[in-house]
Structure formats: structure tokens, C-alpha cells
A and B are shown apart, each in its own frame.
Chain A
Amino acid sequence: MEEPAASREYDSAYFDQLYRTHASTVFTHLLQRRVSWSDAQDLTAEVFAITWRRRATIQPHPEAGMLPWLLATANYVIADRHRMAARSRRALGRLALPVPVPDIAEDIADQAHDVARLERLAELLATLTTAEQEVIQYCTLRGLAPSVVAETTGEPVGTVRSRLSRALTKIRTAYATQGRSGVGE
């Protein structure tokens, strides 16, 4: 699904489409960082809630759209995950809605999809520093250019590039070691 066109009219319809376009990406980003399945669901809601509250000051990137902002916000909630997840859980609990009863079989089938590879990826990322994990997620896993990341985080682009280079060297080595040792297989 396409991201909605940038607009100053950030109404509910815009956010519906933004959520439908990127919610799974944000959810996966959180899972890659070893956030538990249930916390990742709550934190995904919190990322979009923060985005809604901050909509007056957010400028979508001219090429990458809202994705860099959403991933940066996800990184922020990861750092403060316990408070954020609790806040989201309280807010969701206050909604006067029928409690969703998921189709358990469907849920398990969904979760099983590529979970083993996701867990191996999370293991590899965990061998890096937080900043290195973030740059791998931005650039290697999401295809964002270092210049876009630099604009999002406020860092010099050279810093992002050198961090990416260092992180890639480390994670490739960890990947090769994992393959040789059979970890995660």
C-alpha cells in the first residue's frame, strides 16, 4: 500500500493510510530488536500515537516519506519500552471496544512465518551497539540512504556512513561465524 501524499491536512484518513502502510514495518523493526511479541504490538500503537501528537511539526522526507520518522520514533520507544508499552496498554484498555478475539490458528500461522530467520537476525543485531543496530536497520534492512538517516537523526552524513561501514563489517563477521557454528539452525 502506498504512503499517503504529504499534506498539511494530517487528518484521521491520512493516519489510517499511514498506519496501514507502515504498521507491519514498525512492528517488524521492533521485533528485530528483541522486543517481545506483545510489547511490539503495544509499542507499534505508541509509535503512531506519538506521530499523531507530533504531526504539526513533522516534515515527511521528500524522497523517503514518513518511514525515517517512524523508525526513529520506534528506536525512541525501544529505549523507553517499559513505560511506553504500559502507556499504550492503558490507553488501549480504556477504549470502549469489544475485546478482540484473534483467530489463534491464524495468529500462530502468521507468527511462524519466517520467525526463525527473524530470530537469527535479532541475534546478529544484538552483537552490535545500539547505534550500529539502528544504522543497519535503516540502511541495510530498509534501504534508506545514509543521507536520509543523517537528516532524520541530525548527525553528519559522514558519521552515519562510517558507522554503517563499521556495523556491516561486524555483522558480516558475526553472520559468517554463525554459519560456521550453526547457531540458530
Chain B
Amino acid sequence: MNTFEEEFGNLPDQQLPAATQDLHLAYLHSLAEQEGAPGTGVGTGAGRRRRKRRWLFVAGAVAVLVGGGAAGAAAAGFFRVTDTSTGFCYSADSLGAVRVEYATADGNAAENGLDVCAVYWRSGAFREGVPADPDAVPTGQGHPVPPLTACALETGQVGVFPGDAAVCGRLGLGEYPDH
């Protein structure tokens, strides 16, 4: 009788259909063209990340302005999670922080947000006091996971922030689950 290694150790790879390979290569070429980087553009990825951060910063500033007024704060308290298709992991307790959108296999991104976002912290993709890279791939393990709290964003999605239960109120967001 064969061993596991004998039977499966040299199993040949499945081949992608040629048409699929052509489509994938066209996709990769389109990414290069979007960046206008026919040569390399090692710096162009960083440029894109800078633009993303700037956009997120503006979004955060708007939220602070809205949350700063009494009417805005009152409205923020009524935010409820109504869209569970995706959620956001925030790399700091700020609406302007770098964030990553996620979805989960069961379609309930809100309920699983704490578990999903803990992966980003545990992997080191998010670290306290270190600017996060929105394209970071959470492949590592063993990094500390801070206390995480799920809040209801203005968009109706869940946002998971590092911090205790008071973080939602501090950011002018609703609590999740709401009480």
C-alpha cells in the first residue's frame, strides 16, 4: 500500500485552460497600463497608496465635522447596521485611518467582523502606532491583537476599530450590536 506522500507528493498540477490564461495575462497587462508603468514603476504602487490615504483622511475630516455639531452627534448615535454584505477593519481608532474592506463566506460580515479583523492584527498587517498599508496581505502570525470593537458606520456597514466599548461613541458612531 502506498503512503500518503507516495500517492500525492507528485500529483501533477491542473492546467488552466489556454483562454483563461490569456484573459489573466490581459488583466495583468491592464493593471500595468492603468498605472502608466510600462517599465516598472516600483514607486507607482506607493503613489496609489498615498492617494488612498489622502481620500480616507478627507473622509475622516468630514466625519469629524459632522460629529462635532450637536445635531450631527445626535444623528450619529442612531446609526444602525443595515448592510451586512461587507464590513471594514480600521487600523486605528479614527475614521481617517487606513481601512480594509472584507466579506465573509456566510455573507454576514457584521457578525464575524471581530474575528476577521483580528486576523489583520495578528498577522502584523495592522500594528498599533505604525501606519498601515492598505494592500498589506495578512500572512503572518503572532503579533498582538488589541481589544477590538464593532461599530455601526454611517453607511450602514460595520466598522471594527481598535479600542474599548467607548470607541463607537467617541467617533460618533452607533454601537453594534445595538442595544
The yes or no answer to A44 lying at the interface (CB within 8 A) is yes
The yes or no answer to A179 lying at the interface (CB within 8 A) is yes
Q: A49 to B31, Cβ gap below 8 A?
A: yes
Q: B24 to A24, Cβ gap below 8 A?
A: no
Distance of A118 Cα from B11 Cα, bound (Å): 8
Minimum Cβ distance to chain B for residue A179 (Å): 6
Chain A interface category by residue count: 35 or more
Minimum Cβ distance to chain A for residue B164 (Å): 27
**Complex contacts, A20 vs chain B, CB 8 Å:** 21
Partner of B27, one of A72, A80, A92, A115: A92
Distance of A9 Cα from B41 Cα, bound (Å): 8
**Complex contacts, B141 vs chain A, CB 8 Å:** 153-155
The interface residues of chain A, by DSSP majority, are classed as helix
Q: A41 to B20, Cβ gap below 8 A?
A: yes
Distance of A8 Cα from B167 Cα, bound (Å): 42
User: Do A179 and B1 contact each other (CB < 8 Å), given the known contacts A12-B38, A72-B137, A92-B23?
Assistant: yes
The yes or no answer to A67 lying at the interface (CB within 8 A) is no
Q: A97 to B139, Cβ gap below 8 A?
A: no
- The residues of B with any CB-CB pair to A shorter than 8 Å are 1, 3-5, 7-9, 11-32, 38-40, 42-43, 45-46, 48, 86, 101-105, 107, 119, 123-124, 133, 135, 137-142
